[in-house]
């Protein structure tokens, strides 16, 4: 009986530890980033606009405005200066974004099965000065096997791309692509994470695909959500 109590206590401690570990660990977003650059000095003044297919959709007016604001913040941190008109710009930045259709993934895993098991134990009792063995049965709590479980996850891939051109758009200076795949289907929630994920690689060549991990409670992302660009400070 003491043994089963000990095993139960150990299991309780294990699950309590897992609970506190997961409770204290923020969900983390993984963004895959790939960037390219011609390394040509194009100047820092930029004029930005969404991809043509986005411009044609009148239902995206407010979404485009909000997403552009996040991109402007990232560009500002990299030393870029937004201008109001194409004539004043050194480069034109075209941005695009999207979210995939649901991707259903099924996977299986083995789960331990716990149960109470009776086990024989040998003890000795003293009779007339001599020790005699006897067998007694006690309960033990342990893994008796494994069972296979099947689960289904629905995943969505969110993406962002920025491409820098000269003013007549016949020459590109740099391009950057970022994507993230998880169970979230809210592109509006995910977009600041995409922007922060690509921000350090804007205008440079990453050389390879890079994985950027950002916690869900990231302070900079939260500041991006609350912040914005003051249009009165834009260059002419």
Which pLDDT tens digits describe the chain residue by residue (236 residues)? 455 455 555 555 555 555 554 444 578 999 999 999 998 888 999 999 999 999 889 899 999 999 999 999 999 999 999 999 999 999 999 999 999 999 999 989 999 998 888 888 898 888 888 898 988 888 888 888 999 999 999 999 999 999 999 988 889 999 999 999 999 999 999 999 999 999 999 999 999 999 999 999 999 999 999 875 443 334 44
Q: What is the pLDDT of residue 34?
A: 98
Answer whether residue 229 is part of any domain: yes
Q: What is the pLDDT of residue 229?
A: 42
Answer whether residue 61 is part of any domain: yes
Q: What is the pLDDT of residue 49?
A: 95
Q: What is the CATH number of the domain that holds 67?
A: 3.30.160
Answer whether residue 132 is part of any domain: no
Answer whether residue 122 is part of any domain: no
Parent domain of 52: 27-106+150-233
**pTM of this prediction?**
0.73
Give the 3-state DSSP-derived string for the chain, with helices as H, strands as E and coil as C.
CHHHHHHHHHHHHHHHHHHHHHHCCCCEEEEEEEEEECCCCCCCEEEEEECHHHHCCHHHHHHHHHHHHHHHHHHHHCCCEEECCHHHCCEEEEEEEEECCCEEEEEEEEEEEEEEEEEEEEEEEEECCEEEEEEEEEEEEEEEEEEEEEEEEEEEEEEEEEEEECCCCCCEEEEEEEEEEECCCCHHHHHHHHHHHHHCCCCCCCCCCEEEEEECCCHHHHHHHHCCCCHHHCEC
Answer whether residue 205 is part of any domain: yes
What is the number of structural domains in the chain? 1
Answer whether residue 135 is part of any domain: no
Answer whether residue 158 is part of any domain: yes
Answer whether residue 171 is part of any domain: yes
């Amino acid at each position: 009986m003491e043994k089963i109590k000990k095993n139960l206590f150990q299991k309780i401690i294990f699950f309590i530890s897992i609970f506190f570990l997961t409770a204290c660990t923020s969900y983390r977003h993984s963004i895959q980033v790939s960037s390219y650059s011609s390394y040509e000095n194009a100047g820092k003044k930029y004029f930005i606009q969404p991809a043509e297919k986005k411009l044609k959709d009148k239902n995206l007016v407010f979404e485009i405005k909000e997403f552009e604001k996040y991109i402007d913040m990232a560009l500002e941190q990299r030393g870029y200066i937004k201008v109001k008109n194409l004539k004043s710009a050194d480069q034109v930045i075209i941005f695009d974004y999207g979210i995939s259709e649901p991707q259903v993934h099924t996977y299986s895993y083995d789960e331990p099965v716990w149960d109470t098991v009776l086990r024989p134990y040998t003890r000795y009792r003293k009779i007339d000065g001599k020790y005699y063995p006897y067998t007694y049965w006690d309960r033990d709590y342990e893994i008796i096997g494994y069972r296979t479980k099947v689960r289904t996850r629905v995943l969505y891939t969110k993406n962002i791309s920025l491409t820098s051109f000269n003013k007549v758009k016949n020459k590109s200076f740099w391009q950057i692509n970022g994507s993230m795949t998880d169970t979230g289907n809210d592109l509006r929630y995910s977009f600041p994470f995409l922007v922060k994920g690509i921000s350090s690689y804007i205008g440079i060549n990453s050389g390879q695909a890079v994985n950027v991990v950002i916690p869900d409670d990231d302070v900079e992302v939260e500041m991006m959500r609350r912040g914005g660009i003051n249009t009165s400070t834009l260059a002419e």
